[in-house]
């Protein structure tokens, strides 16, 4: 039977979702690139049927061969939790976790061909320090961190050449790592500036919705700051938000809107005051996507927003703090 890594040369395209990207699909695509898959990466939710394509973090299916998504019921659950086994909350794999569980053992053989006894340790080290934290973070599952997770500093330092005595290799490693870090730091700096510019607009959107008695907040194009962070850190805004069910984004370039539920708690993750049940996707065909945790969805039209909001009921009492 052909190995998964050997079949990557025949992949025609790698499909991932569009909109905001996350570490999950970035890491999944990085694993595929490291394994030699050079297929173009296409960001869309309009997925063609292609028997030679990979569908990563999109499509609502998992088969371990072409489909690697976790946004569906009965998504594969992580099976290894290392020393935290007895005390840790269980989590599904994210897309990167699914890819790594399929590809990791074969990469271990490739990196350590003469050391079969170390191949399992290689897989486990990467899995525990890099992949498992991503599974938890992307699925929004609270967990007791082990302290084994990789830091950005460790990742950057790992860019050093394996042969420090070869000045040419070490110089190449330095500039290769520098190029990646420049892109990341520049993105962070620009994002920080954009968030500060957009924070005032976010507050205005919440205040306007509160003033006119709306039960949802419509964000404007300028409101690009992280509204959840602003909401939970502002006591006055948090109290006012008790009347809201959802926050609706400005339209994307593709003409879609994301609808996000208000947080239930100021500390918990992916918990909601209101929740989007999966059956709404059948009743309202304009739903392109509903996250299985119910905390957000993507709409192709706002025509039935009022009817959708009328279907929502509180998931649990709200944390008043």
Beta carbons of 285 and 266 less than 8 angstroms apart: no
Cross-strand pairs, 217: 247
Residue 45, token pair as written in the block: 């939710």
Q: Could you give the CA distance from residue 162 to residue 249 in angstroms, rounded to a whole number?
A: 46
pLDDT of residue 38: 96
Beta carbons of 133 and 152 less than 8 angstroms apart: no
pLDDT of residue 264: 80
Cross-strand pairs, 258: 298
Helices (H), 35-126: 95-111, 116-126
Beta carbons of 259 and 287 less than 8 angstroms apart: no
Beta carbons of 221 and 257 less than 8 angstroms apart: no
User: pLDDT-derived band of residue 154, with 50, 70 and 90 as boundaries?
Assistant: very high
User: What is the chain's mean pLDDT, rounded?
Assistant: 91
Give the max Cα distance, the chain: 70
239-263 average pLDDT score: 91
**How many other CB atoms are there within 10 angstroms of residue 55's CB atom?**
23
Beta carbons of 93 and 75 less than 8 angstroms apart: yes
User: pLDDT-derived band of residue 267, with 50, 70 and 90 as boundaries?
Assistant: confident
pLDDT of residue 64: 96
* pTM, 2 dp: 0.81
Phi, psi angle pair for 263, to nearest 5°: -60, 145
Question: 190-310 has which fold?
Answer: Diaminopimelate Epimerase; Chain A, domain 1 (3.10.310)
180-197 average pLDDT score: 88
Query: What would the pLDDT profile of 78-90 be if each residue is shown by its tens digit?
Result: 999 998 888 899 9
Beta carbons of 26 and 56 less than 8 angstroms apart: no
pLDDT of residue 32: 96
299-320 average pLDDT score: 85
The SS3 of residue 174 is helix
User: pLDDT-derived band of residue 321, with 50, 70 and 90 as boundaries?
Assistant: low
Residue 33, token pair as written in the block: 């690139």
pLDDT of residue 6: 96
4, 18, 142, 73 alpha-carbon torsion, rounded to 10°: -70
Which contiguous run of DSSP H or E holds residue 153? helix 152-157
Residue 96 has pLDDT above 80, yes or no: yes
Beta carbons of 312 and 274 less than 8 angstroms apart: yes
pLDDT of residue 320: 62
Of 296, 50, 196, 137, give the one whose Cα is nearest residue 59. 50
Residue 98 has pLDDT above 70, yes or no: yes
Of 260, 250, 285, 292, give the one whose Cα is nearest residue 75. 292
Give me the residue spans of the domains in the chain: 4-144, 190-310
Residue 262 has pLDDT above 80, yes or no: yes
52-60 average pLDDT score: 96
Residue 195 has pLDDT above 90, yes or no: no
Beta carbons of 172 and 161 less than 8 angstroms apart: yes
Query: In the block, which residue shows the tokens 């486990």?
Result: 124
261-286 average pLDDT score: 85
Cross-strand pairs, 299: 257, 287
pLDDT of residue 265: 83
């Amino acid at each position: 039977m052909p190995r998964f890594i050997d079949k990557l040369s025949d992949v025609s395209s790698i499909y991932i979702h569009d909109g905001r990207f996350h570490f999950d699909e970035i890491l999944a695509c990085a694993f595929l690139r490291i394994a030699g898959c050079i297929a173009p990466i296409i960001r869309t939710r309009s997925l063609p049927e292609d028997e030679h394509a990979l569908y990563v973090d999109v499509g609502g299916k998992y088969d371990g061969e072409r489909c690697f998504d976790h946004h569906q019921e009965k998504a594969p659950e992580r099976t290894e939790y290392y020393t935290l086994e007895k005390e840790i909350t269980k989590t599904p794999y994210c897309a990167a976790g699914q890819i790594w569980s399929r590809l990791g053992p074969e990469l271990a053989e490739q990196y350590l061909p003469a050391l079969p006894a170390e191949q399992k340790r290689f897989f486990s080290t990467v899995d525990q320090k890099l992949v498992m934290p991503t599974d938890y973070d992307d699925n929004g599952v609270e967990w007791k961190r082990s302290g084994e997770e990789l830091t950005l500093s460790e990742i950057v330092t790992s860019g050093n050449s394996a042969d420090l005595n070869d000045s040419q290799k070490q110089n190449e490693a330095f500039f290769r790592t520098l190029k990646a870090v420049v892109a990341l730091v520049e993105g962070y700096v620009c994002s920080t500036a954009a968030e500060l510019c957009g924070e005032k607009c976010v507050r205005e959107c919440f205040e306007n919705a509160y003033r006119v008695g709306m039960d949802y907040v419509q964000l404007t194009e300028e409101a690009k700051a992280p509204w959840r962070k602003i909401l939970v850190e502002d006591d006055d805004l948090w109290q006012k938000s008790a009347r809201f069910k959802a926050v609706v984004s400005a339209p994307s370039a593709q003409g879609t809107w994301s609808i996000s539920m208000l947080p239930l708690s100021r500390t918990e993750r992916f918990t909601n005051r209101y929740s989007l049940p999966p059956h709404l996707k059948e009743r309202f065909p304009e739903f392109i996507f509903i996250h299985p945790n119910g905390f957000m969805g993507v709409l192709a039209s706002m025509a039935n927003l009022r009817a959708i909001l009328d279907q929502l009921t509180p998931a649990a009492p709200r944390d008043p703090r």
